[in-house]
């Protein structure tokens, strides 16, 4: 019978502690989230640095990268990354001898079509680091600012 008072005492102490603590969650997306240093978000492929060696595709443990031949470029082509298959280990960035692939702080990659999760640098080259992925123009400045910290 001593178990019931002990349970009530524990429940009341937990309730009182919870009433005076800050919430454990944030109201995302209304409140911006500060991404910690070293966060491995969406990839950024710098075509100026990429030599088309294919080491990123060879070393990718999930097979999320394939090399696509581009007319006028030497090597195996450019890496096309399927973020739906990617496990965000960034072995591709470690393997790249020129540092052409690097993580960004972009973590919101919500799409309605799985095809939008394919990062093709050939189509993203004109739009810069922010790319498409349903990000839209409203996040353009925010994404550029995040990229500048990783250059």
Residues paired with 45 in a beta bridge: 101
Looking from the CA of 47 toward its CB, the CA atoms found within 13 Å total 21
User: ∠ CA(146), CA(121), CA(141), 5° rounding?
Assistant: 25
90 has pLDDT over 70:
yes
What the chain holds in terms of domains, given with CATH numbers, is 35-128 (3.30.70.3270)
Distance, CA of 24 to CA of 43 (rounded, Å) = 29
* Res 54: pLDDT: 94
17 has pLDDT over 70:
yes
* Res 73: pLDDT: 86
CB 57 within 8 A of CB 95: no
146 has pLDDT over 60:
no
Here the tokens at position 103 are: 């993580």
Neighbours of 132 (CB within 10 A): 13
pLDDT band at 126 (very low <50, low <70, confident <90, very high): low
Burial class (CB in 10 A: 0-12, 13-18, 19+), 86: buried
124 has pLDDT over 90:
no
């Amino acid at each position: 019978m001593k178990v019931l008072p002990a349970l009530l005492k524990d429940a009341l102490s937990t309730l009182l502690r919870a009433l005076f603590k800050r919430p454990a969650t944030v109201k995302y997306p209304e409140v911006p989230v500060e991404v910690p240093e070293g966060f491995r978000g969406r990839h950024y492929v710098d075509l100026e640095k990429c030599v088309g060696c294919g080491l990123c595709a060879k070393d990718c443990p999930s097979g999320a990268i394939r090399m696509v031949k581009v007319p006028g470029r030497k090597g195996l082509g450019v890496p096309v990354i399927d973020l739906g298959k990617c496990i965000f280990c960034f072995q591709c960035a470690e393997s790249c001898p020129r540092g052409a692939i690097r993580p960004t702080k972009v973590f919101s990659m919500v799409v309605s079509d799985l095809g939008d999760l394919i990062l093709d640098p050939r189509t993203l080259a004109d739009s810069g680091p922010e790319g498409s992925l349903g990000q839209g123009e409203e996040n353009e400045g925010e994404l550029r600012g995040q990229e500048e910290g990783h250059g």
